[in-house]
Structure 1
Amino acid sequence: MVMMDLHSNGRRASTGVGGVMLLAAASLLVGCTAAPASHADYPGCGSIEEIASSADLVVRVTYVDSVEDVIYPDLIADVNPTNNPQGGLSDEELEAARRDGAVEVTVATVEIAEVFKGDGQRGDRIQISQLGTRDHSSAETTLLSTLPEDGSAVVFLRDWREAPYDLLNPQQGMFIVSADDAVRTLSSDSAFDIRSLDDLRAAISER
């Protein structure tokens, strides 16, 4: 494994590096554990109440804009194999490892429309980092940048302080809300099968 620090291409690390680069740590920090519908690298929760309790911030947001970025690893220049397993690689091999370790992210700026939990106010703008871009995203990720203009999303977030917020889970941690307050869940878990914003508010309040 290449020893590395992570930084944003042309930007300071906090632009794109948050929990998306620390998923293993997230699974240890939150109360949720593995769940059948969870992404393999994310903590999974058994109910809306549980993920709400684990989140630092739960808010309904509208999309403002976003920036796509690539996070590249900074390989540690240490030739001692005890400290760096890649210490004997050539410059070309190290550069190839750096390219292979690159991660595409989208950092969305959103405006808070409603606060359910946490330190936020209506009208505040926050940033949320997600793995992938419009051209390169997995089936498990729904980017906030794809929200309809008249829609919103309820998001369950981890606060990384100096970095953008992250969803606790890419599917369980976001619900799409249409203009008529109908809710679409992204999770296949029946415990997250909520159809209206009022029902979602009630479930969150039971945490």
Structure 2
Amino acid sequence: MNKNRVLTLLLSSIFMLSAVGCSSVTPAASPSDAPITIIASEDYPSYSSIDDLSARANTIIKGSVIETRVEALNDIVQVTDAANENELNLASDPGGDPSSFDKIYTIHTIQVAESYKGSYTAGEQLEVKQLGGQVGNTEIINDDSLKLIPTKDYVLFLETYEDTPASLLNSVQSLYVIKPVAKSNQPGQQQSPSEVIVSANPENDLTLHLEDLQEIQKEEQKK
């Protein structure tokens, strides 16, 4: 996977056809209230280890979703730092002005249960955005995003910003689910951990352990 983050949006219009039929219509000539579907694909940096992933994230937290909304945001401004340069490419409506284009995001409010890296503490809330959702007659479909479910506890590796909700570092390696483990009632049997951490994306080649998070937290506390 290449080092630059690239976002590509492909625009199509969906039209209701009458019984008498009609010819295809380009988006530019379509009625202003016609439903529009935008297919999005994202290409993020990939990380070779949990250490690399945690070094890139400026915020790592355990938390759960307490609220979700969908909102159009104009975040065309590029974010650049010494460690990584993010580049955004946009293919929108022909003849349109990309600088005024609002992308649609699903925004989750996360209740922080524990912080391993960053400025957030347990009990605080932060917002995390994922590309995709519907506002009015416009829908963005992003098959790369995984749905965050309110009943689950997550570990999230994030990049946070001053004026827009945080983002996962990538859609494959940055989201983990905490699952409870049934305790054994057999006498004399060694007690197993009460929780395990599994990747939310089955394509993830990284394995996250509780010991990894404890080590990240310990290093953060030394700063």
Number of the residue aligned with 1:201: 213
User: CA separation in 2, counterparts of 1:67 and 1:152?
Assistant: 19
Number of the residue aligned with 1:182: 196
What is the SS of the residue equivalent to 1:178?
strand
User: CA separation in 2, counterparts of 1:170 and 1:157?
Assistant: 11
- Tell me, yes or no, if the aligned pair for 1:49 and 1:206 is still in contact at 8 Å: no
CA deviations 1:34-87 (Å, max 9, x no partner) are xxxxx862111111111101111000111011111234699xxxxxxxxxxxxx
Higher relative contact order (CA 8 A, sep 6+): 1
Number of the residue aligned with 2:20: none
Instruction: Give yes or no for the alignment of 1:50 onto 2:30.
Output: no
Show the 5 A alignment for 1:58-73. Answer: 58-71=60-73
Report how many residues are paired. 148
Q: Please give the root-mean-square deviation of Cα atoms over the aligned residues, in Å.
A: 3.5
Instruction: Give yes or no for the alignment of 1:118 onto 2:118.
Output: yes
Structure 1 gap segments, 5+ residues each: 1-21, 26-38, 75-91
TM-score relative to the length of structure 2 = 0.55
For residue 128 of structure 1, report the CA deviation from its aligned partner: 0.7
What is the SS of the residue equivalent to 1:193?
coil
User: CA separation in 2, counterparts of 1:206 and 1:49?
Assistant: 13
For residue 127 of structure 1, report the CA deviation from its aligned partner: 0.6
Structure 2 gap segments, 5+ residues each: 8-40, 77-92, 182-194
Number of the residue aligned with 1:139: 143
- Tell me, yes or no, if the aligned pair for 2:115 and 2:217 is still in contact at 8 Å: no
For residue 105 of structure 1, report the CA deviation from its aligned partner: 0.9
For residue 108 of structure 1, report the CA deviation from its aligned partner: 0.8
- Tell me, yes or no, if the aligned pair for 2:106 and 2:129 is still in contact at 8 Å: yes
User: CA separation in 2, counterparts of 1:106 and 1:40?
Assistant: 15
For residue 104 of structure 1, report the CA deviation from its aligned partner: 2.1
Identity of aligned residues (%): 18
Going from structure 1 to structure 2, the CA distance change for 1:23 and 1:161 (only over 3 Å counts) comes to farther
Pair member with larger Rg: 2
TM-score relative to the length of structure 1 = 0.59
Report the residue type matching 2:172 in the other structure: Q
> Which structure shows the higher strand fraction?
2
What is the SS of the residue equivalent to 2:65?
strand
Going from structure 1 to structure 2, the CA distance change for 1:182 and 1:161 (only over 3 Å counts) comes to same
- Tell me, yes or no, if the aligned pair for 1:48 and 1:203 is still in contact at 8 Å: no
- Tell me, yes or no, if the aligned pair for 1:110 and 1:128 is still in contact at 8 Å: yes
Number of the residue aligned with 1:86: none
| Stretch of structure 1 that moved more, 179-188 or 163-172 | 179-188
